[in-house]
Amino acid sequence: MVSVLTCTDGSIYSESTYDHSIWVAQQLEAEIHLLHMLDPELDKTNHPDYTGNIGMDTRKEMLKDFVEEEGTKARLAREHGKMILENGAQYLKQLCPELKTVAIQKHGNLLESVENLDPTVKIIVMGKRGEHADFETMNLGSNLEEAVRNSKKPILIASRKFQSIRKMTLCFDDSPSANKALEFLTIHKFCRGFDIEVIHIGNENPAIKQQLDNATTLLNQTGAQAKSFVLEGSPTEAITKYIENEGTDLLVMGSYGHSKIREMIFGSTTTNIIKSVQVPVFMFH
């Protein structure tokens, strides 16, 4: 059975992340794996430097106190993480009793843990910002930025509050990542019954028109109601304005390119779009 990996840290985005996870799990007929990451630094005991005019017995006693304090911090962090997972599993069960949920707690780097998890994981669900995010600057969480840049798996970035998804917008430029998004939507019949607007940012020409026609044909064959549009302007402004004006519930798009130049140019655009739109973003690398 396929699964959806839901990353949780108990932050303000957690409930919305769970709601989005239920939606995507129902589309895929999948189970949910709840993942909470522990700070790897908590398991590292960096002994302080107690050299100087302190007696040997005093240094030993201070070192003992330090180790005990660090051990207590690690234990409390594990217990807090277990509580987050228990609360998350309970929340999911209340909303969707038939949904199978597996709780996972791990140490280390989030992206490394994600890539090494069960191969049945098809989608990662994350909140736009975590517990340590700076909401005043509207910066994305560091874990999310790293995952968006490097994850090989699709990422559903939850908006602040879940809203029923009826209409999708697919940003399409015939790039490898955009084609991955299109392939996923059609192979998994993810778009069946949805209105989907396929948009391209730039100047219209016969080649672009053919690409958009091909994309909408594939989507319609899967059971969607798809149509295409070409928008002018900068990608961030054009997409953000279109999402706001057209009532889109979900934005689907490709992420960073593989070349360094493309990543410098389009990488910041991807980040700015995620920050600017108020709807969930389904991201493909």
What's the CATH number where 30 sits?
A: 3.40.50.620
pLDDT value at 49 more than 60:
no
pLDDT value at 54 more than 60:
no
252-281 pLDDT tens trace: 998 754 444 344 444 577 888 888 899 999
pLDDT value at 139 more than 60:
no
Q: Are residues 176 and 156 in the same domain?
A: no
* Owner of token pair 């794996």: 33
| Helix/strand/coil percent split, the chain, to 5 | 45, 20, 35
pLDDT value at 284 more than 50:
yes
Q: Are residues 176 and 68 in the same domain?
A: no
User: What percent of the chain clears pLDDT 70, i.e. is strictly above it?
Assistant: 77
Of 118, 146, 162, which residue sits at a domain end?
A: 162
Mean pLDDT of all residues in 151-161: 90
Residue 51: which pLDDT band, with cuts at 50, 70 and 90? very low
Q: Are residues 236 and 272 in the same domain?
A: yes
- Residues 6 or more apart whose Cβ sits within 8 Å of residue 63: 47, 48, 50
User: CA 15: distance to chain centroid?
Assistant: 14
Q: Are residues 233 and 210 in the same domain?
A: yes
Mean pLDDT of all residues in 77-106: 92
Boundaries of domain holding 249:
163-284
Of 162, 189, 204, which residue sits at a domain end?
A: 162
For the full predicted model, state whether its pTM sits above 0.85: no
User: What percent of the chain clears pLDDT 90, i.e. is strictly above it?
Assistant: 52
Of 162, 186, 214, which residue sits at a domain end?
A: 162
Q: Are residues 1 and 122 in the same domain?
A: yes
108-124 pLDDT tens trace: 777 676 667 678 899 99
What pLDDT shows up at residue 138?
A: 44
Q: Are residues 64 and 197 in the same domain?
A: no
Measure the CA–CA gap between 252 and 64, rounded to whole angstroms: 53
Q: Are residues 100 and 190 in the same domain?
A: no
Q: Are residues 61 and 182 in the same domain?
A: no
What pLDDT shows up at residue 136?
A: 41
Mean pLDDT of all residues in 96-110: 88
1-11 pLDDT tens trace: 899 999 998 88
Residue 158: which pLDDT band, with cuts at 50, 70 and 90? very high
SS3 148: helix
Q: Are residues 21 and 65 in the same domain?
A: yes
71-89 pLDDT tens trace: 677 788 888 889 999 999 9
- What order of strands is seen across the sheet that includes strand 225-231? 101-107, 31-38, 3-7, 121-127, 155-158, 281-284, 250-254, 167-171, 195-201, 225-231
What pLDDT shows up at residue 56?
A: 53
> Residue 77 is inside which H or E element, if any?
helix 56-95
Mean pLDDT of all residues in 167-178: 93
What pLDDT shows up at residue 197?
A: 97
Q: Are residues 269 and 249 in the same domain?
A: yes
Q: Are residues 64 and 137 in the same domain?
A: yes
User: CA 235: distance to chain centroid?
Assistant: 21
Q: How many domains does the chain have?
A: 2
What pLDDT shows up at residue 257?
A: 44
Q: Are residues 10 and 134 in the same domain?
A: yes
Residue 135: which pLDDT band, with cuts at 50, 70 and 90? very low
pLDDT value at 196 more than 80:
yes
232-260 pLDDT tens trace: 988 889 999 999 999 999 999 987 544 44
Cβ-based burial of 63 (10 A; exposed 0-12, middle 13-18, buried ≥19): middle
pLDDT value at 69 more than 70:
no
